[in-house]
Amino acid sequence: MKKTIVFACSAVLLLMGTPDLGNAMTNTEIDKRLTQIQKIEADNAKKLEDNEKQKKELVARKTEETKSLEDIKKQIEDQGKRLNEIQEQISSTKETVRQTNDELQEAEERVESRDKLLKSRVRLMYTNGFVSYMEVLFESTSFSDFLDRYHALRSIVSQDKEILQSNKRDRLLVEQKKVKVEEQLAMVQVQYAEREKAQNEMMQKQKDKEVVIASLAREEEKTEQITEEQEEYARKLADEKSKLWAEKNKNNTKNKPTAVYSGGKLSWPLPGRSTISSGFVQRINPVTKKNESHKGIDIPAPAGTEIHAAAPGTVIIAQWVNGYGNTIVIDHGGGLQTWYGHARGLAASEGDYVKTGDVVSYVGSTGQSTGNHLHFEVRQNGVPVDPIPYVTK
């Protein structure tokens, strides 16, 4: 926001300092104004450099936060899968608990059945009177009868003992199993609660990340807006400088020629290099990855290849321009300008009058560029137009 305010103030100062070019100006006045513009351009270039640096930092942070967000989403998905697995364990354990309860009930029924048997024997003994085992044995009529009675009593005692032991085993086994299964159920329920809590925390982190990314995107949009405003600002500066240089040329006692474009074909800026890698089209910017209008044509060539003036005119910009890198802008009169961007080095200075074919700069990859090439623009009254109808190869 501060940069936007500073930029707006610079624009206001520029307009306040703009002389009335409808009146004749002396060369001294023109030079003074050109010096003012050059200072404004230098200050603005520094602001744009800082803005571009901030933009890169924002993009890097947004990329990092986006990657982190994707990791969080993956963790949430993994947590969800784990929750489903634990839920299945809970359902399975609950089923085991149910089965154990059924087994316990069956055991209780067995115990109850045995208890009834024992109780019926006790009632029988009570009804018939208590008879000791020894009395039964002593009432034997023979040794054989004694042995039969002995084995019968032994069987009864053994059966009673087995009934009691079975009751004890049934109750103990089922109770132990029930406790164990319920412990397992409690454990998986705790696991589920912990996983659910972790997932909720991850979902909150996701929301926080999305807020941060949205904030970074808004900041990035602000930097892009400043860049777009700067392009318009640079165009106004270029228009004013064009008029100033034209005025100075008229004042020049040496009668330095002034170009006035009146139609016809422009010369190809890179003789022998006819390949066009990107035309005057809507495209995805290879650097910013955003859909935008490509304002000129790209002509690939080795670094250092000479770039030639497409027509006679006055150099009105010979400096670094945001996005374009080292740039030459030639005013040809009649509202026509040609722009030569991404140069490795410049061979012309502001105010130079150049003829068709003069070397003005050298191919490079400065500014927003992914490789050595010339970005060539034609602007009519400040508006970029398709260069192809204007040039001849």
pLDDT of amino acid 385: 94
Go through the chain and tell me how many residues it has: 393
Distance CA 73, CA 203 (A): 8
pLDDT of amino acid 1: 44
In the chain, what percentage of residues exceed pLDDT 70? 75
CA distances from 29 to 48, 65, 216, 237 (A): 28, 53, 45, 16
Q: Does domain 1-114+172-256 have CATH number 1.10.287?
A: yes
Which amino acid would we find at residue 123? R
381 touches 393 (CB < 8 A)? no
Is 129's pLDDT higher than 50? Answer: no
pLDDT of amino acid 390: 93
Residue range(s) in the chain whose domain bears CATH number 1.10.287 = 1-114+172-256
Is 340's pLDDT higher than 70? Answer: yes
pLDDT of amino acid 2: 47
Distance CA 54, CA 382 (A): 28
Rank 36-50, 147-161, 279-293 by mean pLDDT and report only the highest. 36-50
Q: Predicted confidence band at 130 (pLDDT cuts at 50, 70, 90)?
A: very low
pLDDT of amino acid 151: 62
| Strand runs labelled E in the chain | 266-267, 282-284, 291-293, 297-300, 306-308, 313-321, 325-333, 336-343, 345-346, 353-354, 359-362, 373-380, 383-385, 391-392
Is 356's pLDDT higher than 60? Answer: yes
Distance CA 70, CA 57 (A): 20
Closest C-alpha among 73, 69, 71 to residue 61: 69
pLDDT of amino acid 320: 83
Which amino acid would we find at residue 42? A
- The backbone torsions φ and ψ at residue 146, rounded to the nearest 5 degrees and listed phi first, read -60, -45
Kindly provide the b/e burial profile for residues 150-171, where b requires at least 16 CB atoms within 10 angstroms of the residue's own CB: eeeeeeeeeeeeebeeebeebe
Q: Predicted confidence band at 93 (pLDDT cuts at 50, 70, 90)?
A: confident
Least confident of 49-63, 284-298, 302-316: 284-298
Which amino acid would we find at residue 153? L
pLDDT of amino acid 326: 93
Tens digit of each residue's pLDDT (9 = 90 or more) over 312-330: 998 988 988 877 889 999 9
168 touches 115 (CB < 8 A)? no
Distance CA 315, CA 329 (A): 6
pLDDT of amino acid 65: 92
Residue range(s) in the chain whose domain bears CATH number 2.70.70.10 = 257-393
| 236 alpha-carbon distance from chain centroid | 36
Is 115's pLDDT higher than 80? Answer: no
Tens digit of each residue's pLDDT (9 = 90 or more) over 21-57: 556 788 899 989 988 988 887 787 777 778 878 888 9
- HSE (side-chain half, CA atoms, 13 Å) at 170: 20
| Strand runs labelled E in 173-279 | 266-267
Tens digit of each residue's pLDDT (9 = 90 or more) over 249-264: 777 645 555 556 656 6
Is 13's pLDDT higher than 50? Answer: no
* Residue written as token pair 């993956």: 74
Distance CA 168, CA 164 (A): 6
Least confident of 60-69, 207-216, 229-238: 229-238
pLDDT of amino acid 253: 47
DSSP 285: -
In the chain, what percentage of residues exceed pLDDT 90? 28
pLDDT of amino acid 145: 63
Distance CA 299, CA 376 (A): 8
Indicate the average pLDDT of the chain: 79
Closest C-alpha among 367, 56, 323 to residue 216: 56
Rank 10-19, 104-113, 145-154 by mean pLDDT and report only the highest. 104-113
pLDDT of amino acid 268: 96
Q: Choose the CATH number for 257-393 among 2.170.120.12, 2.70.70.10, 2.60.120.10, 3.40.1010.10.
A: 2.70.70.10
**Which residue pairs from 234-240 have beta carbons closer than 8 angstroms and sit at least 24 positions apart in sequence?**
234/41, 234/44, 234/317, 234/321, 234/322, 235/379, 235/382, 236/14, 237/14, 237/37, 237/40, 237/41, 238/316, 238/317, 238/329, 238/331, 238/337, 238/382, 239/382, 240/18, 240/21, 240/33, 240/37
Distance CA 145, CA 83 (A): 72
Rank 14-23, 87-96, 330-339 by mean pLDDT and report only the highest. 330-339
Q: Predicted confidence band at 15 (pLDDT cuts at 50, 70, 90)?
A: very low
Is 235's pLDDT higher than 80? Answer: no
DSSP string computed for 80-122: HHHHHHHHHHHHHHHHHHHHHHHHHHHHHHHHHHHHHHHHHHH
Distance CA 368, CA 366 (A): 7
